[in-house]
Structure 1
Amino acid sequence: MRGSNRWLFFVIMLVSGILIINEILVQRDQPAFLDVEREGIVAYVVDGDTIVLQNGEKVRLVGVNAPEVSSDDGLKAKEFVEHFCPPGTVIGLDVDGLSPKDKYGRTVAVVYVEVSGQWVNLNAELLHSGHASLMFVPPSEFNPYLW
């Protein structure tokens, strides 16, 4: 009987461990879209790091710096963003709580877009694609070095 209890205990612990590890991996793969404060609808893309919403609000993507549209790389960055969020796209905004506006009055935020049913951090995608460079301007609640 004692051997049976040990075997049952081992199986329960193994299954529990697998479930815990799976939950951790699922949470890590999902962007923190639940932390998004609000949504907006894209009116147009200004450049690789600025979007204008239908309500007229200008959004500056935090943690990234794209080349100006006067350069070929700048045009490519703008096209990259337009691919993810053409006019009419609903985006999620996680506004920087420490620096909600930049010196030009733009809302500073992480922008999330839906791709194939998954919410994607557009700021991080710009960095990973090479269309923007990392730009950390403190104070900021976001650390783009972790993207």
Structure 2
Amino acid sequence: MRERLLRCFLVLPFLLWVSVAGAGEETYVVKKVFDGDTVVLHNGEKVRLVGVSAPEIKDEQGKNKKEARFAHLDPKIVDRYAKKAKKFVEKEVEGKKVRLEFDRANALNAHKDKYNRTLAYVYRVPDGFFLNAEVIKQGYGFAYKSYRFPYRHSGDFKRYEKEASRNKRGMWGEGG
């Protein structure tokens, strides 16, 4: 009897772990790409890529100019890359299946930003293409640096931005 009880206590945590691990495997289809760091899922949910700051298509607040200054880029190049970033994201995920992964840094606000977009890491299914990272690696966006708390991939994303700059990819390849 004791042995059975012990076996239950050993197996139960494993079964719980398996069920929780599989819970995050729900997939969605990207219906539309809003811009280089925001997609809309088939259910209408807007998803903002955690850790990515892509140039704004309609930059009414001067964000592109500010990003350009910090990155030592011509603001005109950054403005041009707003549409290029959107096209890159469309090519990679529009009409395709993705899975979302959430970051503990956003748990206090239920993984939502001030515009009520879901904050997530986006992975294409089945190949695991990590959209957030690739937007930065290919020079279509910047590592987002204004989070109140460090997010899981912040160090990697900053490194990817430096590598894109050093290797003249994307925005940095056009005179930056």
Instruction: Pick the TM interval, shorter chain.
Output: 0.5 to 0.7
SS of equivalent residue, structure 1 residue 98: helix
What corresponds to 1:144 in structure 2? 154
What corresponds to 1:42 in structure 2? 30
Look up the equivalent residue of 1:78 and give its one-letter code.
K
Q: How many residues align?
A: 112
Structure 2: runs of 5+ lacking an equivalent: 1-21, 59-78, 158-176
CA distance, structure 2, for counterparts of residue 54 and residue 64 of structure 1:
22
What corresponds to 1:74 in structure 2? 82
Q: 1:83 to 1:124 in 2, by over 3 A?
A: same
- Does residue 101 of structure 2 align to residue 94 of structure 1? yes
Q: 1:56 to 1:111 in 2, by over 3 A?
A: same
- Shift of the alpha carbon at 1:38? 3.0
Contact 2:50 2:120 in 1 (8 A): yes
SS of equivalent residue, structure 2 residue 91: helix
Contact 2:51 2:151 in 1 (8 A): no
TM-score normalised according to structure 2 size? 0.57
- Shift of the alpha carbon at 1:43? 1.0
Q: 1:35 to 1:98 in 2, by over 3 A?
A: farther
Structure 1: runs of 5+ lacking an equivalent: 1-33
- Does residue 117 of structure 2 align to residue 129 of structure 1? no
What corresponds to 2:92 in structure 1? 84
Q: Going by fraction, where is strand more abundant, 1 or 2? A: 1
SS of equivalent residue, structure 2 residue 137: helix
Q: Could you say which structure has the larger radius of gyration? A: 1
Q: Going by fraction, where is helix more abundant, 1 or 2? A: 2
